[in-house]
Amino acid sequence: MHFSLNPEFGNRMVTLMAALVLVLQLAMTAQRWLVTNIRIFGLQSFLLAAIAATIGVFNNSPHLLAAAGLTLGVKAILVPILLERLVARIEIRQEIEPLLNAPVSVLIGGGLTLIGYIVAASFNRPDQVPGAAGLGHNTLAVAISLFLIGFFTMINRRKALMQVLGLLSLENGVFLATISLTYGVPLMVEVGIFFDVLVGVMVLGILIYRIRETFESMDVSRLRRLRG
């Protein structure tokens, strides 16, 4: 049975999910509970997988569907499980002293979001391809905002685990930008990227555990003690 999908409906779905992704990223800047932040990241990755899957379905792109499956399996399920087990092992569940408090962090996140939309406006194409081929092109501003807020999280948070989550959020922004601008990179490249993410999380997890064992804290500022 043949049926056609409405690109306008797909565009609304993608826009809604992208907005939720941005809201979750802003929520992460104010949240101090580590497990909650890990689950926010997992939900954000799930929405990114749904965005990729939606664009893939509307454009009949197996390549994007594979990318969505990898995002779901690695970043929405496996990485959060690994990080939650790490939190349970090191027995530190809350970030006590970020460099900037929650209200200021949220304001800065809002400012970075505004910058993201200003930068994305320069990529606006009035003659943008209509229909399914143009699906997701309006998410570039969200992608840039994710990148900027993820970078800010890495600077603002002292806990090594939160810096890892900031790096992963930054990578989510790059992934969304890739979908928005080019509908993804070759599948083998994406497989390599996801493998690198998984290995990187495992290595960083071991490093965080060693920092915790040595300094009885995940505060990376304490690494200054290693200077001679």
Give the whole-angstrom CA distance, residue 28 versus residue 45. 13
What's the average model confidence in pLDDT over 116-128? 74
Per-residue confidence (pLDDT) for residue 50, from 0 to 100: 94
Per-residue confidence (pLDDT) for residue 162, from 0 to 100: 81
pLDDT above 90 for 47: yes
Top-confidence residue, 177 or 213: 177
pLDDT above 90 for 114: yes
Top-confidence residue, 47 or 62: 47
What is the CB neighbour count within 10 angstroms for residue 76?
Answer: 21
Domain segments of the chain as ranges: 7-124+141-220
pLDDT above 70 for 208: no
Q: What percent of the chain has pLDDT over 90?
A: 24
Give the whole-angstrom CA distance, residue 83 versus residue 168. 12
Q: Select the highest-mean-pLDDT range: 44-48, 68-72, 126-130.
A: 44-48
Per-residue confidence (pLDDT) for residue 48, from 0 to 100: 93
Considering only 17-21, 39-43, 48-52, 214-218, which range has the smallest mean pLDDT? 214-218
**Biggest CA-to-CA distance, the chain:** 72
